[in-house]
A = this chain, B = another copy of it.
Amino acid sequence: MTKVTAQLSVSVDGFYAGPRHTGDGDWMTSAESAGFFRVTRWVTDAMAWRERQGFAGGERDTNSDVVAESFEATGAYVMGRRMADGGEVPWGEEPPFRAPVFVVTHRPRPRVERKGGTSFTYVTDGVASAVEQARAAAGGRDVAVAGGGSLVRQVLKAGLLDELELHVVPVVLGTGLRLLDADLDLAEKEAVELTPIRVIPTPQVTHIRYAVRGRAPLQLDDRGSGGGPTVVS
């Protein structure tokens, strides 16, 4: 049964990168990348990630197992245009996905085939269409929303996300690009309810996987003062 999943490394204050890089300078030395590199360091250090990139070394530990599990569970990816553009050169001829990738973009572009099973299909008719195409291509495995953060937010907002895993990195960045910023179109006293279904603590990062239950009204309660049931509607 194919699920639509997303996972993102975030700081304790919810940022997946430093403040957005604009202008001419080198992204690699920007404040945006400094934040991004900090919260994704546990990935870069993981042997399972390094093997996919063709790099030596790395740690064979719980964090590496989390990366490996994620690669194995995923049959197709949905990706934002900015992330796809940014990765095109560094990912090279044999990108680490080894699965079809559907890029949400406004600019039509022919499908690109890479070595190792990765392809990039550019989808111009919206997020829901990209998710549907990825579902059809996933061969019964999961569809992973690879990022960036604004695409994850769009998929959540559209009610299309089944699971969200946050890799919470023990750092406070103070500023940057925030995954859960305020454009979820929630009504007053409305929220998105989740259920934690797996928590894996490690010294470098706390992995918390949530099932997304959906929108629900915030219920008032009586602070327990009646001595009866605490939550009243």
Is A44 in contact with B221, judged by CB distance below 8 angstroms?
Answer: yes
Is B166 in contact with A12, judged by CB distance below 8 angstroms?
Answer: yes
Contacts of A12 in B (CB 8 A): 166, 180, 194, 210
Is A203 in contact with B196, judged by CB distance below 8 angstroms?
Answer: yes
Is A35 in contact with B227, judged by CB distance below 8 angstroms?
Answer: no
Contacts of A210 in B (CB 8 A): 12, 170
Q: How many residues of A contact B (CB 8 A)?
A: 64
CB distance from A229 to the nearest CB of B (A): 8
Contacts of A14 in B (CB 8 A): 13-14, 180
Considering the complex, give the chain B residue whose CB is closest to the CB of A11.
Answer: B191
How far does the alpha carbon of A192 sit from the alpha carbon of B174 in the complex, in Å?
8
- Is A31 in the interface zone, CB < 8 Å from B? yes
| Interface 9-residue window, one of A51-59, A69-77, A78-86, A127-135 | A51-59
Is A189 in contact with B31, judged by CB distance below 8 angstroms?
Answer: yes
